[in-house]
Amino acid sequence: MASAESVAQGNSSAGPESSGDLTPEQILAGYRLMVRARATDERCLSLQRQGRIGFYAPLMGQEAAQVGCALAVRPEDWMFPAYRELAVALTRGASLRSILDQLLGNSADLTKGRQMPNHFGFADQHFVTASSPIGTQITQAVGTAMAAQRRKDPIVTVAFFGDGATSSNDFHAGLNFAGVFRTPTIFFCQNNQWAISLPREKQTRSKTLAEKAEAYGFSGVVVDGTDLSVVYRAVRDARARAVAGDGPTLIEAQVYRLGPHSTSDDPKRYRTDAEVAQWKERDPLVRLRGELITAKLLDEATDQKIWDEARAEVVAVFAEAEKVPPMAPDSIFDDVFARPTPRLEEERHEAAGHSQSLGGPHG
């Protein structure tokens, strides 16, 4: 398993650089996005422990990788998340209210309560709905990229996944297909060192995950995923190559999952406090905050205000979302067929009668 030191000293080459690094103002804006994601993450983990939402998959420690990647792509590009890409959604402009509605599964939920919490999607932001099966989004991203390629639509697709997904069938199928057809796809692997309880060294014998791209005929690069600017440059350059017709890129952003895999997980059962403490020293928010203060782009008072405002926003927005009533039970019969079948209507009628017999609010 890679250590924090090995990430700092490892290969962070992103290939030939194009012009246009993040400006100081953009880096400060990126920090604000990271704080907003962390504040939301902390609150959602707390809310699940209180029983107010059913499930949550934290991203703590992966904010710089996600924000840096999302800032480097264009609004017309399509994101194919796993189930931990909260910061990507926020950076793309998804509303916090819509995210919290989905976590609650209330009647304002865009997915109408039909997805697990944390599996949100936003068509307007080109952010595809997440799904639980490991790696399925990889082949979906490649297929979409090939469709765009045939239409001569100059966009890229980005597939997000973790180190564990590199052992999935869809990883092989997706990367092989992308390599053969040179699709405009960015494979963005957030190597957070653990696939639930399976450590990186038990996942593969490859020296890096990025080098797996070579077998499929395209480039793979390793970057320090705790550095916002480094991630941004790697994705920016990968996008430039993709739209130029030079094919896909596999980016391995080395990060660390500081929290549990999900709220169903207890990481103390399989990793040490010493390991977590070592990686906390490379917390991407602490790192970027220090860089901004050193560069005199941020001071202690302003930083505290940013955190206070972000935390207050999450509390206020969740309070609003929690007041929204749940989905009506008979909504499960909606959107099944364009024209409801007789059998479906019969089932709806039976369900309504059962609900009434139980004194339910919906007929």
pLDDT tens-place string over residues 262-296: 999 999 999 999 999 999 999 999 999 999 999 99
Question: Which residue is catalytic, options 49, 74, 270, 354?
Answer: 270
At residue 97 the predicted structure's pLDDT band, cuts being 50, 70 and 90, is very high
Measure the CA–CA gap between 312 and 335, rounded to whole angstroms: 36
Q: What's the structural domain count of the chain?
A: 2
Same-domain status, 304 and 334: no
Say if residue 31 is in the same domain as residue 149: yes
Q: Quick one: 201 and 340 in the same domain? A: no
Looking at the structure, tell me whether residues 169 and 245 fall in a common domain: yes
- List residues bridging with 195 in a β-sheet: 198
CATH at residue 216: 3.40.50.970
Spatial distance between the Cα atoms of 205 and 207, rounded to a whole number of angstroms: 6
Q: Give me the pLDDT at residue 8, please.
A: 36
Q: What's the rounded mean pLDDT across residues 184-207?
A: 96
170 with 283, same domain: the answer is yes
pLDDT > 70: percent of the chain? 93
Give the pLDDT band (50/70/90) at residue 187.
very high
* Phi, psi dihedral angles at 263 (to 5 degrees): -75, 0
Which tens digit of pLDDT belongs to each residue from 127-176? 999 988 999 999 999 999 999 999 999 999 999 999 999 999 999 999 99
Distances from the Cα of 28 to the Cα of 70, 289, 295, angstroms: 15, 9, 11
| Catalytic annotation present for 362 | no
Examine the domain organization and report whether 241 and 290 are in the same domain: yes
Tens of pLDDT along 212-256?
999 999 999 999 999 999 999 999 999 999 999 999 999 999 999
The one catalytic residue in 239, 261, 282, 289 is: 261
- Which of 36, 236, 257, 289 does the annotation list as catalytic? 257
Whether residue 17 is predicted with pLDDT greater than 50 in this model: the reply is no
Hey, how many other C-beta atoms are within 10 angstroms of the C-beta on 219?
20
Given a cut of 50, whether residue 326 has pLDDT beyond it is: yes
349 and 318 in a common domain: no
| pTM for the whole structure | 0.91
Q: Are residues 348 and 301 in the same domain?
A: no
Active site residue 349: no
339 carries an active-site annotation = no
Domain that holds residue 47: 4-322
Mark whether 299 and 351 lie in a shared domain: no
